[in-house]
Structures are given as structure tokens and as C-alpha cells.
């Protein structure tokens, strides 16, 4: 795997529209297979004119604390999005995560880096306890990303989402703050053992 470049995250901006729309329309065959179907259709939902409405909705949800939206950048260039949504506080203290990355950036660690940064943010500054992700069983690339970051499989949701004109099964994966702490502790122990060997 050849590293893609420096991956950074920031909040989406209104002027991301042209790059967002260009990628989404040009890479329809790469993205539409995995994303929920919408009544208005792919073309209409991803035109430059649809971006201000989507951007505004993300901002409103973020202000209410129910969503954490991020643009994924590689060397300063917009290449995708990652969003933590359906955030619930209180006894659940959880959210779900979804992401997409341009085809030109797949295989370079961009999705893995972006997800790892979001997990760190969610279990740090955002003070969440649990993150969930749902993914179709045949989406091997996304499953690899989630598992590399430490998400574990918890079950199968049958006929869960309407994707590509069919109700599709999705695997449910999750990670908790304890999982991250335990994994970091194990890594420190391994590093210490290697250092003393």
C-alpha cells in the first residue's frame, strides 16, 4: 500500500460544494453501490445546487449536538466525508459513523486514518462511550477499515437499509471507549516488552 499523503479532518464548508459534487457525480459507480437509495435519485442529490442544503442541514444538526460532520482532506484537498450521526447522550452516550472516500484515495490508508481520528475525537473531546457502524457484508474494503481501527462485529441486521434498489442486510460493528483504552494499554505493553528485549 502506498500512503496517499497527509490526512486531515475539518468541518465541511460551503465552498466544498464544487469538489464534493464533482467527485460524487464522477464516481457514482464507486459510491452508489453502498449508499442508501433516495427518492430524488443520485444525479439530483449530488449536483452542486444540492450542496448548500445538505451543508446547512449538517450545520443545524451539529449545533444541536446530534451530528459531528467532517470533510476528509489529503494534502489539503477535499476527498471525502466522515460523519458521526444520531448522537444520543445520557445512559446511551452513543452515535453511528459513516464515511466515503474518493476512488482515487482508496487503498492508501485514507479511510483508516480518518476513522481513527474520529474515534479519538469521539472518545476524547466529544465524550461519547460507543460508536456503531453498519456495513453490507460484501463491502470488504469498508469492513477492513473498521476492523483495523478496532471495531468488532456484533450482529447482522437483516434487510436493514434500502440500497441499490433492494433491502440489504448489514453487519453491525461497534467500538467503545474501553476497547480503545484496552488496545492502547496492550500496545504499550508490547512496545515496552520489545524495548526491554
> How far is residue 60's CA from residue 37's CA, in Å, rounded to a whole number?
23
> pLDDT tens digits for 61-87?
999 999 999 999 999 999 999 999 999
* Contacts by residues 35-44 (CB-CB < 8 Å, ≥ 24 positions apart): 35/100, 35/163, 36/161, 36/162, 36/163, 37/162, 37/163, 37/164, 37/165
CATH of the domain spanning 7-196: 3.40.630.30
137 — phi, psi (to 5°)? -60, -25
The structural domains of the chain, with segments of one domain joined by +, span 7-196
> Three cell numbers at 58?
449538517
> Three cell numbers at 66?
446530534
> pLDDT tens digits for 21-49?
999 999 999 998 898 887 778 889 999 99
Locus of grid cell 508490547: 190
pLDDT beyond 60 at 186: no
pLDDT beyond 60 at 191: no
Q: pTM, whole model, 2 decimals?
A: 0.89
Amino acid at each position: 500500500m502506498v500512503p496517499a499523503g497527509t490526512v486531515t479532518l475539518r468541518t465541511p464548508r460551503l465552498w466544498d460544494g464544487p469538489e464534493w459534487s464533482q467527485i460524487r457525480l464522477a464516481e457514482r459507480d464507486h459510491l452508489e453501490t453502498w449508499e442508501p437509495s433516495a427518492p430524488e435519485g443520485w444525479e439530483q442529490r449530488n449536483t452542486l445546487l444540492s450542496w448548500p442544503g445538505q451543508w446547512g442541514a449538517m450545520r443545524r444538526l451539529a449545533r444541536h449536538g446530534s451530528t459531528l460532520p467532517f470533510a476528509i482532506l489529503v494534502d489539503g484537498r477535499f476527498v471525502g466525508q466522515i460523519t458521526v450521526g444520531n448522537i444520543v447522550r445520557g445512559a446511551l452516550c452513543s452515535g453511528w459513523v459513516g464515511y466515503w472516500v474518493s476512488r482515487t484515495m482508496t487503498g492508501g490508508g485514507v479511510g483508516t486514518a480518518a476513522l481513527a481520528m474520529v474515534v479519538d475525537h469521539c472518545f476524547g473531546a466529544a465524550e461519547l462511550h460507543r460508536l456503531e457502524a453498519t456495513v453490507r457484508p460484501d463491502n470488504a474494503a469498508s469492513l477492513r477499515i473498521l476492523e483495523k481501527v478496532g471495531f468488532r462485529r456484533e450482529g447482522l441486521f437483516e434487510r436493514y437499509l434500502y440500497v441499490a434498489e433492494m433491502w440489504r442486510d448489514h453487519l453491525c460493528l461497534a467500538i467503545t471507549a474501553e476497547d480503545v483504552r484496552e488496545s492502547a494499554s496492550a500496545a504499550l505493553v508490547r512496545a515496552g516488552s520489545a524495548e526491554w528485549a
